[in-house]
Amino acid sequence: MTDIVSPAKRSEMMSGIKGKDTKPELIIRKGLHKRGFRFRLHDKRLPGKPDLVLPKYRTAIFVNGCFWHGHNCQLFKWPKSNPDFWREKITTTRKRDEQNQRELTALGWKVLAVWECDLRGKSETEIDRLIDRLAKTLKSFLT
């Protein structure tokens, strides 16, 4: 299937996609903050600049977009246009994610990932349950 917009327009659209303060990230931040968790954002001192850093729990949380990180779910499909570029880009991102996780673990940090598909299309109740499970996991790190 060919793209319905010009390459220049597609490039403009793709460059407008932000990497920080995404909707899934804001949902997780708001939910954890509401439950009393305090965190830092995008700490440059840690490998991969995790989206949320909870020093008290020595935990880094990444909120990943399924497309950009190549998640094996219903939201991810390999692009048909420029496939070599996308295969290399997404494969490199996956390898970098794994490396960052290894480095954080070696530094004594726990690493959690929340995927876009865990939040997209879910009801408020389902999202609350997910954040409750995340909070319970974080609290278990203190015992």
CATH number, domain containing residue 111: 3.40.960.10
> 């931040």: which residue's tokens?
29
Reported as a pLDDT band with limits 50, 70 and 90, residue 8 is confident
Between helices 23-34 and 124-140, what is the axis angle to 10°? 60
Q: Find residue 44's DSSP bridge partners.
A: none
| 132, two tokens | 């409750």
Instruction: Give the integer Cα–Cα distance in Å for 6 and 53.
Output: 40
Does residue 83 sit within a domain?
Answer: yes
How many Cβ atoms from other residues are within 10 Å of residue 123's Cβ? 8
Q: Is residue 30 part of a domain?
A: yes
Q: Please count the structural domains in the chain.
A: 1
Domain extent at residue 51:
20-140
Which tokens sit at 8?
Answer: 């220049």
pTM, rounded to two decimals: 0.86
Separation between Cα atoms, residue 21 and residue 42, nearest integer Å: 10
Angstrom distance (rounded) from CA 49 to CA 21:
13
User: Which tokens go with 98?
Assistant: 């794994």
Q: What pLDDT score does 49 carry?
A: 96
- At 59 the pLDDT is 98
pLDDT digits (tens, 9 = 90+) for 60-100: 999 999 999 999 999 899 998 889 999 999 999 999 999 99
**Residue 120 in domain:** yes
